[in-house]
Amino acid sequence: MKKTQLLRDFWYGLSSNQRFQIRRLYYLPVDLKDKLLGKTHKYVPSRGQIYTGSPASASEYIKQGMLHLEHLKTYVDLQPDDSVLDIGSGVGRSAIALSTYLNDNGSYNGFDVVKQGVDWCNNGLGKDFLNFNFKYVPIYNDLYNTSDLKATEYKFPYQDASFSKVFSVSLFTHMQIEEIQHYFHEIQRVLKSGGLCFSTFFFYNETDENYISNLKYFGFPYKKDDYCLMNENVKSGNIAINKTKIKQMLKKANLKFVKIEDGYWKGQNKNNSKKEYQDILVFKKD
């Protein structure tokens, strides 16, 4: 456990640009092999360009995105003509799948704090699907972006009540409490009445707080009020939030809690019944 923690502390101690460069160099041999063997896809970035989630082959990347699509259909009743906002659109993992499902009456908008991801999506999906739009927002995040704009001051670049569905995958796991609270208020503003939101988190309660602090490979040893951190210096590295706290935060933003479905990140999936690694939160606007 100590060795794992030291490696993670070293990784989080690097600058965002250093992490991007190391990732590209590390995956360069297998990326070249994929290119030579014709195992690439026009919308899928190389492993070295994937900075969120697990680097994957083109086929596995598409498979992961299709799982996100199935989650949206299952948990928030995503329809082909929905107007959708993807907060933290990354390098298009979810967007690729949604491009196969949304029709011409539907729309997709996504924004992200990493310019290279937004550029990749705009140069691919954005060109081929006119109802798919990606925006780069230079928001400070000590894991991904060193810009000056604070997430707590950022107003989503969309009109009130613009979207019937909002979702984020592995976004709030890399944000601080006050930033998440502000984003909840913005989600409430841009959601239509009755609109639903799907998001993934790391959650815990009082009974497993000590357990998650001592997890061997994915622990949260730094305990704060109502949340725990994986790394105390890089606060956006990963955060786990108390389930009671998140419900209070939703209420403060005039959003209605619908459900939490635990993922298998705590290592409890003996019967393979859980399909998502992170915990799923569903909420809505009345």
Domain edges within the chain: 2-284
From residue 70, give the alpha-carbon distance in Å to each of 48, 65, 66, 73: 26, 9, 6, 5
What pLDDT sits at residue 275? 85
- What's the whole-model pTM score? 0.88
At residue 265's C-alpha, the angle toward residues 56 and 54, to 5°, is: 15
For 2-284, CATH number out of 3.40.50.300, 3.40.50.150, 3.40.50.180, 1.10.40.30 equals 3.40.50.150
Q: Which residues of the chain have pLDDT under 50?
A: none
What pLDDT sits at residue 31? 83
Q: Is-contact 241 256, C-beta < 8 A?
A: no
Neighbours of 94 (CB within 10 A): 25
What pLDDT sits at residue 276? 92
Cα separation, 198 vs 278, in Å, equals 12
What pLDDT sits at residue 86? 98
What pLDDT sits at residue 142? 63
What pLDDT sits at residue 189? 98
What pLDDT sits at residue 48? 86
Cα separation, 134 vs 13, in Å, equals 29
Q: Is-contact 123 141, C-beta < 8 A?
A: no
What pLDDT sits at residue 90? 92
Cα separation, 16 vs 67, in Å, equals 28
